[in-house]
Structure 1
Amino acid sequence: MKKIKNEGALLKKAIEIGEKYAINRGFKSFGGADSAKEKVESLYRLLVHDKLIQPLAKDQENQLNMKHKLSLWIAKQLPDDHPLLK
Structure 2
Amino acid sequence: MKKQKNDAKLLKKALELGMAYAKKQGYGDLDKSVSSKDKVECIYRLLVEAKQITPLAVDQEDGPNMKHKLVLWISRLLPADHPLLQ
Residue 3 of structure 1, CA deviation: 1.1
Instruction: Name the SS of the counterpart of 2:4 in structure 1.
Output: coil
Q: 5+ unaligned residues in a row in structure 1: which ranges?
A: none
Residue 4 of structure 1, CA deviation: 1.6
Identity level (%): 57
For normalisation by structure 1, the TM-score amounts to 0.98
* Partner in structure 1 of residue 57 of structure 2: 57
Q: 5+ unaligned residues in a row in structure 2: which ranges?
A: none
Instruction: Name the SS of the counterpart of 2:81 in structure 1.
Output: coil
Runs of 4+ in 1 over 6 A off after TM superposition: none
For normalisation by structure 2, the TM-score amounts to 0.98
Report the aligned-residue RMSD. 0.5
* Deviations, residues 4-52 of structure 1 (Å, cap 9, x unaligned): 2211100000000100000000000110101101100000000000000
Aligned residue identity for 1:26: G
Number of aligned positions between the proteins: 86
